[in-house]
Amino acid sequence: MLRFIKHNLTGIDSVEIYPLISLLIFVLFFFGVLAYVIKMKKSRVHELGAMPFDETDEVETTKLNGL
C-alpha cells in the first residue's frame, strides 16, 4: 500500500516541502495554544476546571429547554 502512495508522491515537484510546512503549522499552533494557556488567569483556570462538577448549569439548561 505504501509503495502506491510513495510512487504518486515522487511525481510531484518539490514534494519534500510539504512535511516541513506541516511540521511548521503544528509547532506554531502548539506554541500558540501554550502561550494562551500560560497567559490565562488562574481564576479562569479554576473556573474551567470546576465546570464538570458544577450542577447549576445543567439545571438551568434543563429549565430553559422546557424539560
Domain that holds residue 33: 2-65
Give 63 or 37, the one with higher predicted confidence: 37
pTM score of the predicted model: 0.56
What pLDDT is attached to residue 62? 59
Give 65 or 39, the one with higher predicted confidence: 39
Structural domain tally of the chain? Answer: 1
What pLDDT is attached to residue 64? 63
Write out pLDDT tens, residues 3-53: 777 777 777 778 788 889 999 999 999 999 999 999 999 999 898 888 888
CB 51 within 8 A of CB 57: yes
